[in-house]
Amino acid sequence: MPITVDEYKIGQLYMIAKHSAEQSQKGEGVEVVENRPHSDPVHGDGQFTEKRIYISSKLPGWLKSFVPRIFYVTEKAWNYYPFTVTEYSCSFIPKFSVNILTKYENNNGSTDNCLEASEETLEARKVDFVDIAMDACAPHHYKESEDLANFKSTKTSRGPLQEGWREDTQPIMCSYKLVDVKFDMMYLMQARIEEFVHKSIREILLVGHRQAFAWIDEWFGMSLQDVRDYENRMQEETNEKVKMAGSAPPTPQPLEEEAGGSAYGTPASTPTSPTGSGGSQKRGWFSWPSQDKSQDKH
């Protein structure tokens, strides 16, 4: 992205809060269950958030018949910016989980092993560079105002982003993600759900990071306190939208400081590299087109 890591700390929080509010309609969306400071002996002080993402209407028809009427994904995130750990689990699939390690650096994706993955992971991974300007999002997510090939920031004069922009744009930063998917279910269903997960996660991250830059004139110049106030206000509104339709359990815990995590919600105890055994596994940096470990950069 054509911003710095320090700038993205504000832009990320703003984007997550606004994106969540936009997605929270008709009793679906993102409910904040917990948001509190968290300290880790290795990574220091950070922020823990837990969210429930209600997405029943967004599921494909072939999958809806297998899930309960009220379906949600639980997201837990430990944010030690510029490093974060995010974990996802499903309300009705006990053996399904997604673990994502993220680190942000001021470069164009040139670091080969940003998250210090093991040799085993490096041998199996598949790298996918996600270009927020040149990669097309799904038609229903496209907005002309968020088309980065045409967008120019009024406040920073950055943009538009043309072919080859990653080679000479300054400032520039990259979000590195190492993704581990575990899933153990009957074979035929497993293959279809894994494909659906890969496509969905890539699309969510692509759209979210496009928006982070497309909305730069809205958040640029905000202080951390400004964006925390905005975040709390948006989270209260989205919680109320979800609760009004009866989808969510009552009375989430009070909001406190900065949230972290994914682009769809926001995206875990001691934040070491997630581990587990059994089931199908995939690791990656930012998109997930492959059947094995993959590494995504954006």
DSSP string, the chain: --S-HHHHHHHHHHHHHHHHHHH-BTTBEEEEEEEEEEEETTTEEEEEEEEEEE-GGGS-HHHHTTS-SS-EEEEEEEEETTEEEEEEEESS-TTEEEEEEEEEESSSS--TTTT---HHHHHH--EEE--TTTSPPPGGG--GGG-TTT---TTT------TTHHHH-SS--EEEEEEEEEE-S-HHHHHHHHHHHHHHHHHHHHHHHHHHHHTHHHHTT--HHHHHHHHHHHHHHHHHHHHHTT-SPS-PPPP-S---S-SS-----S-SPP---SSEEEEEBS---SSS--EEE-
Give me the average pLDDT of each 10-residue run along the chain (298 residues): 97 91 69 90 94 68 56 90 94 80 96 95 87 94 95 98 96 93 67 72 90 98 95 84 56 37 36 33 33 50
Q: What's the pLDDT at 230? A: 95
Is the full-model pTM beyond 0.85? no
Domain limits, the chain: 5-297
Q: What's the pLDDT at 204? A: 85
Q: What's the pLDDT at 59? A: 57
The CATH fold of domain 5-297: Alpha-D-Glucose-1,6-Bisphosphate; Chain A, domain 4 (3.30.530)
Q: What's the pLDDT at 274? A: 33
Q: What's the pLDDT at 257? A: 36
Q: What's the pLDDT at 207? A: 93
Q: What's the pLDDT at 218? A: 98
